[in-house]
Structure 1
C-alpha cells in the first residue's frame, strides 16, 4: 500500500518515554528505604522484649510503606511526592520510638504486698495526770508519797503518820533492802520547813526507826538553817521542785540518790 506524504499513520498505542534520571532516583530512594527499614528492625529486635511499644512502631511503619506502594500502583506519582511520603513516615516512626524510650516502665507491684493491711500508727502513751498536791490534806499527801515509794519498787510500804508516829509518816523497804523512813510536810509555798522540824525528825529517824535512808518531803521549801542541819545529820530534803521531778520520773527516788556526807 502506498501512502502519500500528507498522510499519517495513526499510532496504535502510546509508548512511555524512558527517563534514566527518574528511574535512578526511584531505585535510590528504595535502597534508602530498605536500609532504614533494616536499621529500625535491627534496633527493635533488641528492645522489643522489654519495650512492647516497638511492636506498634513497626506496625505503623509497615502500614505507611504498604499505602505508599499501593497508591503508586494506582497512579504514577512524582519522585518528589514519593520522597516526601517516605520522609514523613520515617519521622513519625522515629518520634514514636523516642517517646517509647523516654517512657520508663512502671515498677512491678507485689500482689501479696498489696493484700497486707496498712500498718496502724503506734498508740501514744498517755502520761498520768500530775497529782495536785496543793489540794490534798496531810493524810492524802502521806498516801501520795507512799504510792510513789511503792511505784518505784519499795516493799512493805506503810503509812504510819498520826499521833505518836515519832516523826515517821511513811515506812518502806527499798529494792536493795535498806529501810526507808519518810516524813511528809504538806505546807503552803509561803511556809518553809524550818530547822526545828528537821531536828525533831532527826532525833527519831535513826535511833528509833533504824533508818538507812531518811528523807523529808514537802510541798514547800526549806530554810537555810534547816538544810544545814539536814546535811550534818545525813537527811535527804526534797522540796517542791524535787517532789515534782520524782513524781514525773525525771529524778531518782530518795533511796537512789547519794546519801549526804
Structure 2
C-alpha cells in the first residue's frame, strides 16, 4: 500500500540554516564594505568632491538594482552584486587618492594694487584714479574720447611734462576738479576738463562753478579749464577776473603736440591776486 506524500502548506520552502547563515554573512560583508566606503568617502570629500559624488551614485545604483531584482533574484545574489559594486568604487577612489602627482588647488593670490586702483584724494576725500601708463609719443584723437578718457588724456599730458602726484578725480562729487597734480616747481595744479563737441562752447556758468571751488576747496596755485571746444566771451572775461586759465581746442592741441606751453608755465599769478 502506497502512502501519500504530504506537501507543505502554500508550497513554502523548508527552513535552511546553512542558506540563512550564508545570506547573513554576505549581508554583513556588504555592510562592512559599505562602512569602509563611507569612511573613505568622508576622507576623500575634502580633497576629491567629485569622487564623493561618484560613490553616492554607485550607492544609488545598488539600491536600484536591489529594488528591481527583489522579486526575481535571491537576497544572496543581490548582496553579492552590491558588494562587488561598492568594492570596485572604493578601489577606484583609493587609486585616485593615492596616485602620485595629484594636483592640489592653490590658495587664491591676493590682489596687488595696480596703476588703475583707486586712491583717496587728499583735497576732497573723493575716489581718485592713478594715471594709466601710456605711450607719450602716440598722437591723441580727442574727438574719439569719451569724457572719462579725456580726463585721463589730460592727466597724461601733466605727467609727461613733469608733474608729480597726478590723479584723476572727476566724477560725482568732484567739486569741479577733474585732474590734480603738482607742477615741477611745486605749485598745486587743478584742472577741469570739458569734453564738448565742436560748436558747444564752454559758458560762463561752467567757469563760475569751477571758480567757486578751485581755490577755496582744492587750494589751487594754478587753475585751468581745458576743453575740446571753445569759450564764450563772458566765460573768458570771468576767467580773467578769477585767474583761471582757459585752454581751448587750439591751445590743447598745441600743448599735446609740444608746440605750446603747459598751463603751469604760463600761470604767473596766484589766487590771492583775484577776488573770485
- Give the Cα separation in 1 of the matches to 2:137 and 2:182: 25
The answer to whether the 8 A contact 2:245-2:267 is kept is no
Residue 233 of structure 2 is aligned to residue 217 of structure 1: no
The answer to whether the 8 A contact 2:222-2:267 is kept is no
In structure 2, list runs of 5 or more residues that go unmatched: 1-135
- Report what 1:242 is aligned to: 251
- Give the Cα separation in 1 of the matches to 2:137 and 2:181: 23
- Give the Cα separation in 2 of the matches to 1:258 and 1:184: 17
- Give the Cα separation in 2 of the matches to 1:144 and 1:259: 24
Matches within 5 A, 1:92-107: none
Deviation at 1:202, TM superposition (A): 0.2
- Report what 1:104 is aligned to: none
Matches within 5 A, 1:117-156: 128-156=137-165
The answer to whether the 8 A contact 1:236-1:259 is kept is no
2:166 counterpart SS class: strand
Deviation at 1:259, TM superposition (A): 3.6
Deviation at 1:130, TM superposition (A): 2.1
Matches within 5 A, 1:6-25: none
- Give the Cα separation in 1 of the matches to 2:188 and 2:242: 17
1:187 counterpart SS class: coil
Count of aligned pairs between the two proteins: 135
The answer to whether the 8 A contact 1:159-1:171 is kept is yes
In structure 1, list runs of 5 or more residues that go unmatched: 1-126
1:158-201 deviations in Å (ceiling 9; x for gaps): 00000000000000000000000000000001100000000000
Deviation at 1:229, TM superposition (A): 0.1
2:192 counterpart SS class: strand
1:141 counterpart SS class: helix
Deviation at 1:133, TM superposition (A): 0.5
Q: How large is the Cα RMSD of the aligned pairs?
A: 1.3
TM-score using structure 2 length: 0.48
1:180 counterpart SS class: strand
Kindly report structure 1 stretches of 4+ aligned residues shifted beyond 6 Å: none
1:64-101 deviations in Å (ceiling 9; x for gaps): xxxxxxxxxxxxxxxxxxxxxxxxxxxxxxxxxxxxxx
Matches within 5 A, 1:185-196: 185-196=194-205
- Report what 1:86 is aligned to: none
1:182 counterpart SS class: strand
1:181 counterpart SS class: strand
- Report what 1:202 is aligned to: 211
2:151 counterpart SS class: helix
